[in-house]
Structure 1
Amino acid sequence: MTPSHGPGTGPASRWSDLERPPLNAPALRRALLRPGSLWTSVDLVPGTGSTNTDLAARAASLAEGAVLVAEEQTAGRGRLGRTWTAPARSGLFFSVLLKPDVPARRLAWLPLLTGVAVATGLARAAGVDTALKWPNDLLVTVGGEERKAGGILAERAGDDGVVVGVGVNVTLRADELPVPAAGSLALADAVCTDRDPLLRAVLRSLEEWYGRWTAASGDPDASGLQAAYAAGCATLGRAVRAELPGDRTLTGRAAAIDGEGRLVVALPEGGREAVGAGDIVHLRPAD
């Protein structure tokens, strides 16, 4: 959508890339900040290092449901210290502050819940089949190949808060991908790449799933979360290699997601092991 008015279109202008118009903050607030909503504030900044870092620093003074959105992140972070970068206005880069009143042992489900919510929202608004790679990657299919188009990072903030960050590549072109294994909604033939309705859909989906989960005291079975995650998880049933802390490696078949959100790996020699932290590699049969 090309804007009908606004600042000039010089190199420094936020309108300079007409294929990537800026998000409409007033419209997002009107759509999301309603009575009874989980969302209590929506702040949009042109750029920052990391929305997770910024929101965590302000968590003590904010109510649950604060949302921070950036048009560009220069020091976005993923799991295991990885960086997340993308051109300005090419994706959704945001963090939310949540303060779930659930048992501490169930907090590990929060990034998995966010994955289900993001995948559900994007399916509705973008018409893209988004799968989940345990524990926090969003996968799309580009040219018949599985590609990572997004990721989730949850971090504790203060005594009772959790900041959950989401990054999704929306309009990245093939020559802009940071690595060959990356993808975007546009490359996956999304029917919509307008970031405003995409962000609204994702946040509404997150509100819906978070409400179910917290109403069930974080119980993944009673809330339907465990079944929904398993149904959308591309890792289950696959041959995988788990690269674990301490330079330990585990190879087997991803058999299940247990009640604590861990990946249960069936070992070739028999038996099973639950993986709570580590990097998972999907193996092809030849591997």
Structure 2
Amino acid sequence: MDAKKHGLAAGDAGRPDNADWTIPQGWEHYTPQDHATWKTLFERQSRLLPGRACDEFVQGMRDLPIGADAIPEFDRLNEVLMRRTGWQIVAVPGLVPDEVFFEHLANRRFPSGNFIRGPHELDYLEEPDVFHDVFGHVPMLMNPAIADFIQAYGQGGLRAQQLGNLTQLARVYWYTIEFGLLQQGDGLRLYGAGIASSYTESQFCLDSPCPNRIRFNLERVMRTHYRIDDFQESYFVIRDLDELLEFTRIDFAPLYQRTQAAPALQPGDVLPQDQVFTRGDGRYHAARRKGH
């Protein structure tokens, strides 16, 4: 499992002077070990993702100045990204507070950690680092549908804060941008960054008999808790990336009211009305619970 990012508030430790929490990338300060860690992660995922990642992710990787030899320079990435979708990457020291996160997204700025994990943390990291953020997110930001959806999510997040509905909205981000699957002509494919940047979860989400794979339904997802400590128990499948744009045209206010009034759902729940691609056997998480 890899770094998990959902934009929920960070503490004030290490807070930079800038109100928007941005800092220089400091590319010149990366060590040879940092670049070697990037190379290990990059090559491992690049070998694994063909046939697993969606076509749009693969195309985004081809079109960006990203390679195995060194951690990418944000300025070079931004030249390409800005021309394609008007987005840019801004460096931050780690997770940022909700309002800062949403404000950046609403203005087509994607906050990325400027640090990289240690070689002993290849498979799990609590905070999103430059590999999770750049390798996992930036290829999809080259796609116009994702670019518009994430900006709309930032705008919606600022409104949800005022309404007290961040929990429901965070679930939408989690089960799409971080851990989403989509239907492709040749089968289910991953597009979520939390999966794309994780060696183990990019296999688990598509190959394991354990998790549920369920057709995405907005209200259902807004009611569903998620796992921040392990693989997901359920993955939700969208029709295609254009479906995300349809959500940006919906008035969320009545959805918030209905989902707040409805019982919350556990990550592994399957409902009678769910359209199920795969009903998982749940053995992995059951064994984990017994082990604890």
The TM-score range, normalised by the shorter chain, is 0.3 to 0.5
Greater percentage in strand: 1
Question: TM-score, with normalisation over the residues of structure 2?
Answer: 0.34
Question: TM-score, with normalisation over the residues of structure 1?
Answer: 0.35
